[in-house]
Amino acid sequence: MNGIEVLKELRKVRILWRSPIIIYGTIKDNSHIDQVMALGAVKFITKPMG
């Protein structure tokens, strides 16, 4: 299960609808970040590589 799938599942849980979710990942693709934000994440933090 990837982060997007986890985020979708968390948003299905009524008690967690208002919980702020921060995603911490290695992807720097803007379309991926936009998708995560559209699903309800409040922040996307990019992990440093190397």
pLDDT tens-digit map of 3-33: 889 899 988 998 888 889 999 988 888 999 9
- Cβ(9)–Cβ(3) under 8 Å? no
Label residue 49 by pLDDT band (50, 70, 90).
Answer: confident
Bigger pLDDT: 3 vs 38 = 38
Q: How far apart are CA 19 and CA 9, in angstroms?
A: 13
CA-to-CA separations, 4 to 25, 30, 31, 48, 50, in angstroms, rounded: 11, 14, 12, 20, 24
